[in-house]
Chains A and B, each alone.
Chain A
Amino acid sequence: MARNDRLKESLKTLAAAAFWLLVWQGLSLLVQKPLLLPSPLEAAKRLCALCVTAPFWASIGLTLLRVCSGFCCGVVCGVLLGALTAKSRLMERLFAPLLAVVKATPVASFIILALVWLQKDLVPVFIMFLIVLPVIWANVLEGIRQTDRGLLEMARVFRLPRRKVFSKVYAPSVLPYFAAGAATAMGLSWKAGVAAEVIAMSNSSVGYHLYRAKINLETPDLFAWTAVVVLLSVILERLLRRVIRRMEGRKRNAATA
């Protein structure tokens, strides 16, 4: 995309965001009760005040650490299980009920169970792991299944070593499925992870501050912390997309060259 086009796109996005901020401002003026709906300006002021405190950054850091830990564990286990179940029908049958249960169980049930089983600081990590695992697992499994049989036959005839079959045939074939799964899982796990922090009241976390804001009826704080959650979610998703784009670089070049 040309630089001018990119600038135009950014301006359009900013205009849309400005429109919704105006709607929010209008509604807050209409309601006239900051306890129910503070104005964007009030929320921004509160956010600025929070930004200069050390606990604010410590909470963000710890929440990010939990998100990344849960996400990475889920990705690693999801990839391994995807590969294992793609290789063996028996393993797929064995793990299929587990996958179905994890997918169907409400997140709240898992959070409550995790509170019984684990230290409260580990609950969000565990919840994110549970959310990420089935998404990555299903996508990797599908990616392996959709790998071109013709290419695998070619690899067999030419007796390519397993390492090469993995890196040159399977990995590039699975990558688009993995990328789609990772992007979905990141969005889902972030929301579930913050919800787990709220319920578990994990120490020094974004979720804990959301909970405190709710019980102290500090609505501007609630909005400020929610803005932090949204912002971090957008940043994490963009970072993830950038990493995946880099991984896909060679493949994309091949397709568009």
Chain B
Amino acid sequence: MLQLRELTFSYLAGQPIFEGFSLSAKAGERVCLKGASGKGKTTLLRLIAGLETPDSGTITLSPDCKTAMVFQEDRLLPWLTAKGNVSLCSDDKAAEDWLRAFGLEEELDAYPSTLSGGMCRRVALARACAVAPDLLLLDEAFKGIDPARKEAILALLKERFRDSLILFTSHDDAEIAAFATRIIEI
């Protein structure tokens, strides 16, 4: 489903973030990209999402692969409600279902400025899930969500995205242990 071959990328000439990085992953996997800050985990997700262009190497995705991403920042539109933000990328019903699934049934019409950090993370997660992606990229997506809620969300993602490929970054060992089917050290 996803193949990265000999990927090299640098923001500054002569200072590559990574060199000759290769990875192959198939649908149903939940791959954790692990490594210290600054090692290029986010950059790798951005490359896969098509937001950066590699210096060399290739990124191959299955044809018609639907991609969704949860960024490190929530990237919610402040002038839209929680439901408005989610339905921006999907239909109203899917938006409402996912917001309810993430415990935000009371906040459907709330604006991001009135939500807590954890709630905004869940809205961003709902937005990504509502498009029913084949490839879900999660960049520290669970940061700020309380442990009990996080556990429920991880279980839900495992169940609902059994046939999708999930690539995620995290510094939380318990989270990685509970969610990843494979760990890649960068």
Interface residues of A (CB under 8 A from B): 148, 150-151, 153-154, 156-158, 160, 164, 168-169, 172, 250-251, 253-255, 257
Contacts and interface: CB of A to CB of B under 8 A. Distances in A.
Contact of B78 (A153, A156, A254): A254
A73 B68 CA distance: 41
B78 A158 contact: no
Nearest to B46: A153
A210 to B, nearest CB: 44
A172 B50 CA distance: 25
Contact of A168 (B49, B88, B111, B113): B88
Interface string B38-67: 000000000001110000000000000001
A257 B113 contact: yes
A43 B31 CA distance: 82
A68 to B, nearest CB: 29
Given A158-B68, A164-B88, A172 B51 contact: no
A257 B50 CA distance: 35
A interface: dominant SS: helix
B79 A172 contact: yes
B27 interface: no
A253 B51 contact: no
27 contacts: A148-B75, A150-B73, A151-B75, A151-B77, A153-B75, A154-B69, A154-B75, A156-B51, A157-B49, A157-B50, A157-B51, A157-B68, A157-B69, A158-B69, A158-B89, A158-B131, A160-B88, A160-B89, A168-B88, A172-B79, A251-B79, A254-B80, A254-B113, A255-B78, A257-B111, A257-B113, A257-B114
Contacts of B81: 254
B155 interface: no
B120 to A, nearest CB: 13
A255 B113 contact: yes
B186 interface: no
By DSSP majority rule, is chain B's interface helix, strand, loop, or mixed?
loop
A160 B86 CA distance: 12
Interface of B: 49-51, 67-69, 71, 73, 75, 77-81, 88-89, 110-114, 127, 131
Nearest to B51: A153
A150 B112 CA distance: 15
Nearest to A257: B111
A46 B88 CA distance: 59
Contacts of A257: 110-111, 113-114
Given A164-B88, A257-B111, A154 B71 contact: yes
Given A157-B49, A158-B89, A254 B79 contact: yes
Contacts of A253: 111
Nearest to B48: A157
A22 B79 CA distance: 47
A169 B114 CA distance: 20
Given A156-B50, A164-B88, A257-B114, A250 B77 contact: no
Nearest to B137: A157
Nearest to A154: B75
A158 B88 CA distance: 9
A154 B71 CA distance: 8
A157 B79 contact: no
A150 B88 CA distance: 15
Contact of A150 (B67, B75, B89, B113): B75
Contacts of B112: 254
A257 B80 CA distance: 11
Contact of B67 (A153, A157, A172, A255): A157
A207 B117 CA distance: 58
